[in-house]
Amino acid sequence: MLKITILVLFYFTFPLIIIYMCKRWSVLKKLGSIVLAYGFGLLLGSIGILPQGSDAYRLALQGKAALPDTELQALLAAGTISQYDSYVNSIASTQDLLVSVIVPLAFPLLLFSLNIKRWLRFAKEGFISMVLALISVVAIVSSGYFIFKNVVPDSWKVAGMLVGVYTGGTPNLVSLKVALGVDPNLFVMTSTYDMIVGAITIIFFITIGPKIFRAILPPFKHHGDSGVTDEMIEEAESFEDFTGMFRKGRIFPLLKALGLALLIFIVSFGISLLLPGVSQMVVVILSITTLAVLASLINWINSIEKTFQLGMYFILVFSFTVASMADLKVIFSIGFLGLFGYITYAYFGTLLLHLLLSRIFKVNADDFLITTTAFVFSPPFVPVVAGALKNKDVIITGITVGIIGYVIGNYLGVALGYFLKAF
């Protein structure tokens, strides 16, 4: 019990070290705290500190994160597994509980500080491009499902996660992992391949991308309030700024926000019990999203500082924990090459279809690029690409689209995943 307690404390404290490292060294900040959390988690899971259990125990798992207590006791009584395997199962159960609970707490915190009403006032600026991007994402991910479904395990779950991450970014990817019950190995590799292909894409966006897209699409017509865009820049760049989170005067309001997130989780869990015919975690995640959006409309909740950053801290804890659960021998097997193909197809297929539709509907180059960035990479990347475009006016559009993506990503991912599962 003591060892498991120490492990849980380690899962919650090491992400704080990652945050410090990113603040201390700019090269690590550019690499990203999420990437570091996955990397250190994989390292923790592969260096032999965490016990793996016997071959018989791993065979009995059959893809489950941990064995239910009744099944565990039956195997112990039969002599199939040992008490050591029981200890391994306790660690696995604790890890599974952590990743299942952390996300329902994190997602409300991510949404509390988003001023939905204010952002929606600017939605018309890139509305057509946003709709075309959504159509492109759904069309390409769906077609990719039929192309890769025989070579990608649980491809309907992967499709749901890809739609979520390509509309809302990492927070939606994480919440859809929980909602759809994705295996840790599959989740880690989906996230890893997404980061690899995404890194190539964002480099393209901030180097030669603007020149190419401006040669294909109509030019941007400058307009807008620079005072508002300056505010947008500051807000976008603060999305992953953890500075001053525990400053005096902020801790108590953050604890209230955390308590409210817990209340939303409990209410959502209660709602799931009223719908026994539907997947429990799907109901929980979608209920949490809905209630958190409604809560963000209340001024005193929306005005609590650093709730988004607290939510991102929990996402880091999740990422570190789930990566430590993955098996490197499995995730680097030949069987995951199809997954890499699916993700590559989804990235570049969506980009090309969105470009074609934008050409047809005469969307300007800057709005095309900023809406694509906002959906695929989320709001923190919007100022970076706007800087490459040398166009501050599109920041309003980008942040707005990114916020909408955070809100709709879970709904869209669950809906498409279960729709494709039927085929």
- Domain-located, residue 19: no
**Residue 194: its pLDDT value, please?**
86
Among 410, 316, 321, CA closest to 111: 410
CA dihedral 31, 133, 206, 28 (to 10 degrees): -10
Under-70 pLDDT residues of the chain: 63, 118-125, 222-240, 327-335
CA dihedral 348, 318, 329, 50 (to 10 degrees): 170
- Domain-located, residue 56: no
Could you tell me the residue range of the domain that residue 382 belongs to?
Answer: 108-240+311-421
**Residue 161: its pLDDT value, please?**
94
**Residue 66: its pLDDT value, please?**
79
**Residue 418: its pLDDT value, please?**
94
- Domain-located, residue 116: yes
- Domain-located, residue 175: yes
pTM value surpassing 0.85? no
Output the six-digit token pair for 231: 């505010």
**Residue 333: its pLDDT value, please?**
63
- Domain-located, residue 35: no
Among 416, 348, 332, 343, CA closest to 190: 343
Number of folded domains that form the chain: 1
**Residue 331: its pLDDT value, please?**
60
**Residue 224: its pLDDT value, please?**
53
Compute how many other C-beta atoms are within 10 angstroms of the C-beta atom of residue 69. 11
Contacts of 20 (CB under 8 A, 6+ apart): none
- Domain-located, residue 245: no
* Longest pairwise C-alpha distance within the chain: 74
- Domain-located, residue 61: no
Contacts of 129 (CB under 8 A, 6+ apart): 358, 363, 367, 368, 371, 397, 401
- Domain-located, residue 58: no
**Residue 231: its pLDDT value, please?**
60
Contact 179, 285 (CB under 8 A): yes
Residue ranges in 226-279 assigned as alpha helix (H): 226-237, 251-273
